[in-house]
Amino acid sequence: MSEQNCLVANDWICGEYVRSRSQELIDATVQHVWITAASVVIGVIVAFPLALLARRYGAFAGPILGLTTVLYSIPSLAMFSLLLPAFGLSASLVITGLVLYSLTILVRNILAGLQAVPEEAREAARGLGYGSARLLWEIELPLALPSVLAGVRIATVSTVALTTVGYIVDYGGLGTLIISGLRSDFKAQVLTASIICVLLALVADLLLLGLQRLLTPWTRAARPSRIRRRPASPKVAEAA
């Protein structure tokens, strides 16, 4: 009876709310996750060629980085309003806006990772007959992974937060619950949805950190010794 009274009393912490609205919470969480995941994946797909273009042609680096910075500075309400004629009130509108916001982080980190690849690693690979494409995928990209995945982690956590803004068009996942709870002064809904949103960001960051450690084992092997140099890559190290 006391747990049911927490709804009547409009308490911040209310187990009955979680039980009675569990499906609503699950639906909002699923929507939040898939919008975030889709935005980050598409963001990486778009950012990668932009970073390659900026690295290959230095003259494009400034405009590309400048444009992504300008896009990130546009307020979310204005961004969605500008995209509204093209996408209407849909999930595509929110995802497109989030992709544009993620580019400033992703492009910079991918570019920084590629530029940090040691020149001797490239020279060794070219000496083995590696072409440009093979050099990129087998040497440069693996060595750039720590920086790339660090950017993906930051972009993901940022996107988890920004997805809540999608409440404007009713595709905000947990953000829709948070805002509707604020408008109706439903404290349990506001707090519960906010906590789930924070947990999503933490879980996503930990999962990506684990993926980064799994895909870049040489970075862990190099940490105990500050003198020993990190191997250029498994393939180049074998050739050497």
Give residue 115's pLDDT. 85
For the chain, the domain total comes to 1
Band the pLDDT of 190: cuts 50, 70, 90.
very high
Query: By percentage, how much of the chain surpasses pLDDT 70?
Result: 89
Give residue 2's pLDDT. 54
- Residue 236, pLDDT > 70, answer no
The overall pTM is greater than 0.85: no
Query: By percentage, how much of the chain surpasses pLDDT 90?
Result: 42
* More confident of the two residues 8 and 88: 88
Give residue 234's pLDDT. 45
Mean pLDDT across the stretch 173-182?
91
CB 145 within 8 A of CB 44: no
User: For residue 228, what are the domain limits?
Assistant: 2-239
CB 36 within 8 A of CB 160: yes
Question: Residue 76 to residues 6, 18, 49, 79: CA-CA distances in angstroms?
Answer: 35, 30, 25, 5
**From CA 177, how far away is CA 66, in angstroms rounded?**
35
* More confident of the two residues 149 and 128: 149
Lowest mean pLDDT among 10-19, 64-73, 131-140: 131-140
What's the CATH code of the domain at 190?
1.10.3720.10
Mean pLDDT across the stretch 38-57?
92
Q: Which of 72, 38, 11, 32 is nearest to 175 (CA)?
A: 32
SS (H, E, C) 63-80: HHHHHHHHHHHCCHHHHH
- Residue 235, pLDDT > 50, answer no
